[in-house]
Structure 1
Amino acid sequence: MAVQPEGTPCWADAMFSDVEGAKSFYGDVLGWTFGEASSEYGNYTQAYSDGKAVAAVVPPMPGQEEGPSQWCLYLASPDAAATAGKIRENGGEVLMEPMAVGDFGTMCLARDPSGAVFGVWQAGQHEGFEVISEPGAYAWAEFFTREPAKTDDFLTAVFPYRAKQMEDDAIDFRIFDVGENTVLGRMKMTDDFPPEVPSYVNVYFAVSDCDDAVAKATKLGGVLRFGPMTSPFGRFAALSDPQGANFSVIDLGTTEGEMPKTSEV
């Protein structure tokens, strides 16, 4: 795939204290295979679906605190330094200054004003996902936040998004478009979420059979958090892997119901 327009999700990775365990889990659940660990870049290891790069896993760097694992979604930027400046100007926090990763590109880690951590990627030789929305590949992502107004204002100030609100009294859900493409969602966290769970970005990976993926994940020590449920967008479920990283799986081919109406905001 080519370099993605600014604000489009373009890569995902996660840090695991037990990288081999993560490779085994995601290999079974999502069918991933893995490349050689790159010792030059902290044993960063790319994951592949059907031979195409879809994500990466990496062990903690020496001295890093042992927090729970989590997936990090990277949003495309033509200029990571300029994006870092916008993040600061609009109430976000830059956790890791823009850093060149060899010839691959430039990365930056940040936190939105509600506490959700995400990455910024300025592509070099590594343009990001080589495939999306196919089984084993990235499909979708949502910012889960307790303070939707803060997140909404922040995202539209930092990235060239056009926002639309879903017309549904049951949930507070907003989507963000880049050009003609809907690229990201934002969900208000309800009281169903334990208070200790911070705002976070939930990454969805496509699967050919949601129930089968859930069965494999739970058999291997994953925890089912929600679903499976069939929606107009696909049949999906929310999970935590054995090391605590949240993610979702979605079968994009199994849908039910009418697409919800949205209104520009």
Structure 2
Amino acid sequence: MRTVEPGTPCWADLATPGLEDAKRFYPQLFGWTGRVSAQPQADGYTVFLKDGRTVAGVGPPATEDQVPIWSTYVATDDADLVATRVEAAGGQVVVSPFDVHDQGRMAVLADPAGAVFCVWQPMTMRGAELFNAPGSICWTELVSPDPEGAKEFYALVFGWQAEEQPVGPVTYTGWRCGARIVAGMTPPLAELPADLPAYWTVYFAVEDADATAARAAELGGTILVPPYDNPAGRTAALRDPQGALFSVTALA
């Protein structure tokens, strides 16, 4: 079983009122298959698999007014301690830590700029079983109008160290956890709506970013940012038919 290092993004799932539509859209886009939870209280929560290995999940929203959103989960040894650190650092505990059956313990949290993320204290479910391959998570990124505040917050919560590198006209930040850069941060793109709060976005690896973006549009999604080249590869920002943001990258 793959070991999840604390402070490392380990899972992503989609909360959406359009559960059945998501179970149509994403398998057709990424070649996923779905496995519905047998737990009655899971409300149809579905784990997506690629080539038999878990890559992401989808379930109904926690509240009626929740917008469709992909959530990043960061691994931890102690979800309760992380929640305490979030409050002390000026963030918000959106959902207090709770056990997800025998699979793990999680909490839903937000940084001071409003970016929502989750933590996962694994038990029987360690996280995704496939990364950086087509159809799986390849990157997670904070989009924030307050990068300096984010640097202070995530250092206090996860011990992440910010490493800056210029990428074109903007300064890109890598989050270092121990020996690895585990996630990134960027200011909001000019193409995105100006009223978007800070948010975490999930990137999925694909063979061909242009073909995937076109296919997403055919399936009822929206191309927010058309495919463009960057140091990581070729990337596009998309919305699914219910409005959830996500990105795809053909890795260089």
Given the two structures, how large is their TM-score scaled by the length of structure 1? 0.90
User: What is the match of residue 133 of structure 1?
Assistant: 132
User: 1:156 deviation in Å?
Assistant: 1.1
User: What is the match of residue 60 of structure 2?
Assistant: 59
Q: 1:25 and 2:2 equivalent?
A: no
Alpha-carbon deviations, 1:169-198, whole Å to 9, x = none? Answer: 611321111222111101112554323211
Q: 1:16 and 2:10 equivalent?
A: no
User: What is the match of residue 2 of structure 2?
Assistant: 2
Alpha-carbon deviations, 1:193-226, whole Å to 9, x = none? Answer: 3232111111000111111111110111111111
Any conservation in 2 of the 1:3–1:128 contact (CA below 8 Å)? no
1:36 and 1:135 mapped to 2: Cα distance? Answer: 22
User: 1:168 deviation in Å?
Assistant: 4.5
Given the two structures, how large is their TM-score scaled by the length of structure 2? 0.95
Q: Which runs of 5+ in 1 are unaligned?
A: 256-265
Alpha-carbon deviations, 1:218-253, whole Å to 9, x = none? Answer: 11111111131122211110001110100000111x
User: What is the match of residue 237 of structure 2?
Assistant: 238
1:207 and 1:193 mapped to 2: Cα distance? Answer: 22
User: 1:148 deviation in Å?
Assistant: 1.1
User: What is the match of residue 46 of structure 1?
Assistant: 47
1:191 and 1:151 mapped to 2: Cα distance? Answer: 20
Any conservation in 1 of the 2:217–2:223 contact (CA below 8 Å)? yes
1:169 and 1:156 mapped to 2: Cα distance? Answer: 26
Q: CA RMSD for the aligned pairs?
A: 1.4
Q: 1:224 and 2:223 equivalent?
A: yes
Q: Label 1:190 to 1:59 Cα distance change in 2 as closer, same or farther (>3 A).
A: closer
Q: 1:143 and 2:112 equivalent?
A: no
2:70 and 2:143 mapped to 1: Cα distance? Answer: 13
Any conservation in 2 of the 1:6–1:160 contact (CA below 8 Å)? no
Any conservation in 1 of the 2:191–2:225 contact (CA below 8 Å)? no
User: What is the match of residue 117 of structure 2?
Assistant: 118
User: What is the match of residue 108 of structure 1?
Assistant: 107
Q: Which runs of 5+ in 2 are unaligned?
A: none
Any conservation in 1 of the 2:213–2:226 contact (CA below 8 Å)? no
> Secondary structure at 1:86's aligned position in 2?
helix
User: What is the match of residue 174 of structure 2?
Assistant: 175
Paired letter, 1:59: P
User: 1:26 deviation in Å?
Assistant: 0.4
Any conservation in 1 of the 2:151–2:161 contact (CA below 8 Å)? no
2:188 and 2:236 mapped to 1: Cα distance? Answer: 16
1:210 and 1:33 mapped to 2: Cα distance? Answer: 21
User: 1:160 deviation in Å?
Assistant: 2.2
Paired letter, 2:21: G
2:190 and 2:118 mapped to 1: Cα distance? Answer: 27
